[in-house]
Amino acid sequence: MNIEHYTYRLTWSPEDGEHVGLCAELPALSWLAPTQEAALNGIRLLVADTVADLQTNGEPVPEPLADKRYSGEFRVRIPPELHRALALQAAEQGISLNRLASAKLAGVLIG
């Protein structure tokens, strides 16, 4: 397991007055530090220790998100009324429901 492939993020905590290091694959972990560099170093060390403990105890270790393969397909459950409204909107635009939903999701992520 290469923890260098994990997704690390730094943010500021106004409550703590410090930078916070986070790891998307292990969301229960965080590291507070006065600088971004120290927060990143701290979370990386904590992740390394945690992964070592998981391996020692025979527990599953999360796969890095960057190493996962994605099919480009997932299912979303929505109310029938919303399904109908989206289908109507797609028909009015002359595009597939899939294309409309993809565009709306991309707009949410980009916008």
Q: What is the mean pLDDT of each run of 10 residues along the chain (111 residues)?
A: 92 98 97 98 98 97 94 93 95 92 80 44
How many domains does the chain fold into? 2
9 with 59, same domain: the answer is yes
pLDDT in the model for residue 110:
53
Domain check: are 10 and 62 in the same one?
A: yes
Sign of CA pseudo-dihedral 104, 105, 106, 110:
positive
Say yes or no: 36 and 13 in one domain.
Answer: yes
β-pair partners for 20: 11, 32
Rg for the chain (alpha carbons), in Å? 20
Same domain, 59 and 103: no
Residue 106 is part of which domain span?
70-110
User: Which tokens is 90 given?
Assistant: 């797609």
Let me know if 64 is exposed, middle or buried by CB neighbors in 10 A (0-12, 13-18, 19+).
middle
Q: Does residue 80 share a domain with residue 45?
A: no
Question: Is there a contact between 86 and 98 (Cβ–Cβ < 8 Å)?
Answer: no
Q: pTM score, two decimals?
A: 0.73
